[in-house]
A and B are shown apart, each in its own frame.
Chain A
Amino acid sequence: MTATATSARSELSELGRSETALRTFLHGLPGVDQVGAEQRAAQLGTRSIKTTAKAQAIDLAIRMVDLTTLEGADTPGKVRALAAKALRPDPADPSCPHVGAVCVYPAMVPYVAEVLRGSGVHLASVATAFPSGQAPLEIKLADVRAAVAAGADEIDMVINRGAFLAGRYKEVYDEIVATKSACGDAHLKVILETGELATYDNVRRASWLAMLAGGDFIKTSTGKVPVAATLPVTLVMLEAVRDFRAATGRQVGVKPAGGIKTTKDAIKYLVMVNETVGADWLDPDWFRFGASSLLNDLLMQRTKLTTGVYSGPDYFTLD
């Protein structure tokens, strides 16, 4: 390792000390070429993935699904059923892999934990006053600690968009650092809520901010605002994690969430991951889909490949 690389790393870790340094760094990031990013994302979406490659992609996508239910109407029974589905997505086919994780509200974590214990399926919980993030810091941290204590090993936090958009980067940074320390051993996913960030430049800045503050994953959206994950936004975030690893040596995962409903969509994302950051990220530890209805479509396509006939929604559970 060269001396300059080492000094660059220590400089990055110092950024969080002052508001000015953070702002200078984040605003010094190169701007995103909007037309170029959208064009690139659209172009990668045209790849045709067939037969054995498609079968592999589908199994990988199933392993990457964070099976999510975040409704006011969630009940212990419903989340238990979802957790059972996470373990055996297709009960008719034992060769079908389990999903990456189940994602629920903190109050539902204990019920899911009973089902998932020892299975290798992670248990994620949203916390920090999800989805708005508009609560005092102590309450957000208490939310995180409660979820971890109940058995969650991944925490999906929301950033304080109000502070971010107002330019108070240090406040956002400090909140992420505090949340990370409240997580203990649990992995921290930082939700940027890109639909509320307005520009790709902001998405790039928020990505860097979240990674500098110690986030293990950066996630696009809560799924609670009209604009959720899109291909160009995910492209910008993938470029950020690639550049961050080049600068610091630390690898950060990416999780697009919301609006990904079909196998075709999921495969477009996988193609983009491979072309942007490479095969290192083609693993459930580094790339996840936040989704609920996507899983059934993946299972239907999987059934089509194994049986040769098109399946229908009647043959899969309604979640």
Chain B
Amino acid sequence: MSERVAVRKTYKLFIGGKFPRSESGRSYIVQDSNVALSSRKDARDAVVAARAAVKGWAGATAYNRGQILYRVAEMLEGRREQFVALGVPGDEVDAATDRWVWYAGWSDKLPQVYGGANPVAGPYFNLSAPEPTGVVAVVAPETPALLGLVSVIAPAIVTGNTVVVAASPAQPLAAVTLAEVLATSDLPGGVVNILTGRLSETVPTLASHMDVNAIDLTGVTDAELAADLEVKAAENLKRVLRPAPTDHDWSADPGITRMTSLLETKTVWHPKGV
């Protein structure tokens, strides 16, 4: 019997819950695998998918979102070996799984920590509640490949935002494998969209896109590009998270600022019954 021929995998994009090739048909090679090289049109399509998903995801109950994020952690746990085979250390996979669980727990607690009743001098209730800002563009950090990625995606989506993630050009395999985890985790299509390829092609499109509400520049290391992106983002007053310092410790307690940076506050006055 002849020797079995290995089934080689093409790492494709993740847009709207599907795995399309780049609209441009291009690809590049990382770790001997073909990875889609996305174009600005892929970025545009990803924003359309993310926008379409906002209503359902932001409208889901916090409890439901928490359950789905926990489900992501379950699926990630099951694929541990696959990430290890890609070169992600086992400890990092465990830490990434724990981080999903940690953020999952925040889904129905953040509104109590970050919102609440305001004292007012009148016969009213005055309540502030956090609301998701909408579509968030995220530039993932290069290292750590998996923990860094999870640490930027989970805080954005747990509150009801949807994201378009530009994966690190050097580390796309972990990102696309994470997309496979997300696709099997009851996460509605379009909540997370992942683009692989050159940042200089996709991220400026996202930064200038009028239908994107916030941009997280964590993974941008080129100071000139970062400045350009911030200028573009100013056009429609996007919320901007600035690039992370190169010595950022991703294993440390992340705190809640990543979540609260991507929120709006809705305040309502309600007359008190006499």
Cα separation A311 to B222 with both chains bound (whole Å): 27
Cα separation A309 to B235 with both chains bound (whole Å): 10
Cα separation A118 to B69 with both chains bound (whole Å): 59
B44, B47, B210, B232, most chain A CB atoms within 10 A: B210
Q: Is B51 an interface residue (CB 8 A)?
A: yes
Shortest distance between the CB of A312 and any CB in chain B (Å): 3
Chain A residues within 8 Å of B235, by CB: 309
Type the 1/0 row for B190-225, where 1 means its CB is closer than 8 Å to any CB of A: 000000000000000100111100000000000000
Interface set, chain A 275-319, CB cutoff 8 A to B: 308-315
Interface of B is mostly: helix
| Nearest A residue to B208, CB-CB | A309
Cα separation A309 to B210 with both chains bound (whole Å): 7
Which of A310, A313, A314 is B205 in contact with, Cβ under 8 Å? A310
Q: What is the total of A-B residue contacts with beta carbons within 8 Å?
A: 24
Interface residue range, chain B: 10 to 19
Inter-chain contact A310/B208, CB cutoff 8 Å: yes
Shortest distance between the CB of A281 and any CB in chain B (Å): 30
Chain B residues within 8 Å of A310, by CB: 44, 47, 205, 208-211
Chain A residues within 8 Å of B208, by CB: 308-310
Chain A residues within 8 Å of B232, by CB: 309
Shortest distance between the CB of B50 and any CB in chain A (Å): 11
Cα separation A311 to B44 with both chains bound (whole Å): 10
Chain A residues within 8 Å of B211, by CB: 310-314
Chain A residues within 8 Å of B205, by CB: 310
Chain B residues within 8 Å of A312, by CB: 51, 209-211
Cα separation A54 to B205 with both chains bound (whole Å): 20
B208, B211, B235, most chain A CB atoms within 10 A: B211
| Nearest A residue to B44, CB-CB | A310
Shortest distance between the CB of B210 and any CB in chain A (Å): 5
Cα separation A310 to B206 with both chains bound (whole Å): 9
Shortest distance between the CB of B28 and any CB in chain A (Å): 24
Cα separation A308 to B205 with both chains bound (whole Å): 10
Cα separation A314 to B209 with both chains bound (whole Å): 12
Cα separation A311 to B51 with both chains bound (whole Å): 12
Chain B residues within 8 Å of A314, by CB: 210-211
Type the 1/0 row for B229-265, where 1 means its CB is closer than 8 Å to any CB of A: 0001001000000000000000000000000000000
| Nearest A residue to B212, CB-CB | A312
| Nearest B residue to A313, CB-CB | B211
Shortest distance between the CB of B44 and any CB in chain A (Å): 6
Cα separation A309 to B51 with both chains bound (whole Å): 17
Cα separation A310 to B232 with both chains bound (whole Å): 12
Q: List 18 A-B contacts (CB under 8 A).
A: A308-B208, A309-B208, A309-B209, A309-B210, A309-B232, A309-B235, A310-B44, A310-B47, A310-B205, A310-B208, A310-B209, A310-B210, A310-B211, A311-B211, A312-B51, A312-B211, A314-B210, A314-B211
Q: Which residues of A contact B (CB under 8 A)?
A: 308-315
Q: Which residues of B contact A (CB under 8 A)?
A: 44, 47, 51, 205, 208-211, 232, 235
Query: 4 closest pairs, A vs B, by CB?
Result: A312-B211, A309-B208, A310-B209, A312-B210
17 A-B pairs besides A310-B44, A311-B211, A312-B210 with CB distance below 8 A are A308-B208, A309-B209, A309-B210, A309-B232, A309-B235, A310-B205, A310-B208, A310-B209, A310-B210, A310-B211, A311-B210, A312-B51, A312-B209, A312-B211, A313-B51, A314-B211, A315-B210
